[in-house]
Structure 1
């Protein structure tokens, strides 16, 4: 579907993690596999469609008898599956949706875990641009729940460091081919910065079309996507973006080794989606190993208590017990050309308070749905 650039990379990360665990035990250590058994990965394509995604989830649970579900990028598909897994009591780690609404009522629940960062976290990277360039911003994002959610939190993040003036906001259809009408409006507004929440094929198309039309304004994208930046080419240079993954991260020693392994496996270096796919499989396998069982209740208990200190993304990976949202370090990066990586995300700064926009535990409204039974 429209999110294939992200989805394919995420799937490759998952495949690599399964390969390593089945060959050597990977991060689990000891014997190959988990609990003396090989890990079996079944891949299905949602085609970026809610009905298709839900049907594929039902097939995996009811026909294939999987022990746990993983993946999904579009939050609307995730929400549909979350309603289903509550009934089936099947654990599900979402490793691709940025919309934090998936961990709010009525979607949160004991069997669901949000394994990648959400908009309240990653938008903090926009604060760098606001401090450097000013508070007059134009917002453009996809016309569905993630895009609106992204824009809402962009504004909150910028307001904390600058006097925000919203010069305009547009929500073009997801995966649009022509962004010229919106770019014309942005040029006329002459903002200090453009906050971008456009994903899928539109990620690269918007950036390329904007630069081709002579828009030289500072760009900040919600998240760094290596495949999409490569598709945009030099038009993306100088753009900043948020991420939780760095190929070379002094605080996460395994990140560079993972990147080299990913390149050997796929022919290219990973971005955040590949890292999320790999990380989620490692987390799942560690939880099953620590649970000593594939019983869903024991897997959920292990995930709630996991403290993963040897991962590839963040120094300590864990889930909040109040809503099962993973917490991360958040990095502001700039797209640069690199002789080794071709296009890379150069670290500018790390957010000092990565939880400043997250709903505090005790106020999530998810407490009852987290209980057993």
Structure 2
């Protein structure tokens, strides 16, 4: 325990030194005392419903309003943009935001390729990013930066709940249908590690382009693989389309099991419980988990919120945490704010006893959920049951296992 404390103190000092070195005579980021938050998300594409879109902007704006609408004596402004799931568009817009709009923090960043690109660009300019939509664990490992924060979940935490439950229930032979970019590849890799560690095996995989409408060829390969479990290492409408078409092909009826590795409550609603019943998945938050979450959900849906999914809840929580850090630091200068947000526990309706680690990862509890049968649902969003709470120190790798150079 003493060695752990000593090591953590050393890491904190190293990061503090790095940040101060980067600051030099000039303040990091746009330290003008006026806070501007940029929501860079998928506003019209495959991830626009539950991860990003109008619901994401609504969550950030609600957090700002609940904070009082101002910090350091000046109004907080929220702006947004559609990155169209293209890293080059996201990078160009983020550069414009930082250089011309004087944005202090960029949030959301759904799509791992986007998240990785913008995190690096913003860090080079001394600007904080808070990824709530991007999943790849690379954000806090090999691609970590002093100003990058990964808030809500990652591709390591997702399979710890879902794959563990399925393998222990007998589903040991897996085949993956994987989104063909950084997110899908990381999710397949992390899930495979869990499966193999528990004595299972991976008999094959196939890569599918983002925003694919026809999964027939991929599903036929999975069906013929002899796998007991077809792992869907994708998300959003890609997962919805794959599940619907798998049911049309009689794959589940034929004895194979689908495992959605990144499923949102909005996906279950889109699928319908007749199709989704029994589907297990891991989530960073559940709206009906306690009174505080239910209260937040009711207010969010009444204030422009679209879906009570964990990425939207994470955005509200992250915005509040950021503004509290600005207030505590007494400045919007990035080094001071990053230090303040890392030193204070995140303990709210979203993250119980959470803390942002030195590698930028928010470690907090995750939840294994299971879709209900249609006759068990009593209201619009009463779609799942809470099967298990996964403590944060079990859901995420230890800081000692991080490959982030800031922790070495």
Q: TM-score w.r.t. structure 1 length?
A: 0.88
Match of 1:330 in 2: 366
Q: Could you tell me how far apart the structure 1 residues matched to 2:239 and 2:102 are?
A: 36
- Is the 1:260–1:269 contact (alpha carbons within 8 Å) kept by the matching residues of 2? no
Is 1:11 matched with 2:57? yes
Instruction: Tell me the equivalent position of 1:270.
Output: 308
- Alignment match, 1:249: 289
Following TM superposition, by how much is the alpha carbon of 1:248 offset from its aligned partner in structure 2, in angstroms?
A: 2.1
Once structures 1 and 2 are overlaid, which stretch shifts more, 187-196 or 36-45? 187-196
Q: Does 1:147 align with 2:188?
A: no
Whole-Å separation in 1 of the counterparts to 2:236 and 2:219? 18
Given the alignment, which residue of 46, 52, 59 partners 1:2? 46
What is the match of residue 227 of structure 2?
191
Q: Is 226-235 or 123-132 further displaced after alignment?
A: 226-235
| Alignment-derived partner of residue 112 in structure 2 | 75
Alignment correspondent of 1:169:
205
Displacement of 1:98: 0.9
Q: CA deviation at 1:53?
A: 0.2
How many pairs are equivalent? 354
**Out of 182, 188, 196, which is 2:218 matched to?**
182
How far the C-alpha of 1:159 sits from its partner, in A, is 2.7
Q: For the aligned residues, what is the CA RMSD?
A: 2.1
Q: 1:366 to 1:265 in 2, by over 3 A?
A: same
Q: Are the aligned partners of 1:239 and 1:335 in contact in 2 as well (CA < 8 Å)?
A: yes
| CA distance 1:171–1:111, change in 2 (3 Å) | same
**Residue 202 of structure 1 aligns with which residue?**
238
The alpha carbon displacement at 1:256 in A equals 1.3
Match of residue 126 from structure 2? 89
> What is the rounded CA distance, in whole Å, between the counterparts of 2:140 and 2:392 in structure 1?
20
Where does the alignment leave 5 or more consecutive residues of structure 1 unmatched?
Answer: 26-31
* 3-state DSSP of counterpart to 1:41: strand
Cα separation, 2, equivalents of 1:347 and 1:278: 22
1:92-114 CA-partner distances (Å, limit 9, x unpaired): 11111110112223x21211111
State how far apart, in whole Å, the 2-side matches of 1:14 and 1:203 are.
26
Shift of 1:269: 4.3
Deviation at 1:368, TM superposition (A): 7.3
- After superposition, give the CA deviation of every residue in 1:130-188 in whole Å (9 maximum; x if it has no partner): 11133112211101111111011111122333x21223211111111111112222223
CA contact (8 A) 2:141 2:403 kept: yes
Instruction: Specify whether residues 320 and 64 from structure 1 end up closer, same or farther in structure 2 by C-alpha distance, changes over 3 A only.
Output: same
Match of 2:378 among 311, 317, 339: 339
- Aligned partner (choices 79, 89, 110) of residue 52 of structure 1: 89
SS in 1 for 2:202: strand
Corresponding residue SS for 2:116 = helix
Counterpart CA distance in 1 for 2:213 and 2:113 is: 22
Aligned partners of 1:303, 1:111: CA distance in 2, in Å? 11
Higher deviation after alignment, 328-337 or 10-19: 10-19
- Contact 1:255 1:312 (8 Å CA) reproduced: yes
Shift of 1:343: 5.3
TM-score using structure 2 length: 0.81
SS at match of 2:70: coil
CA–CA distance in structure 1, aligned partners of residues 407 and 312 of structure 2: 34
Shift of 1:288: 1.1
Residue 227 (1) aligns with residue 263 (2) = no
C-alpha distance in 2 between matches for 1:86 and 1:352: 30
The 1:356–1:368 alpha-carbon spacing in structure 2 relative to 1, beyond 3 Å, is: closer
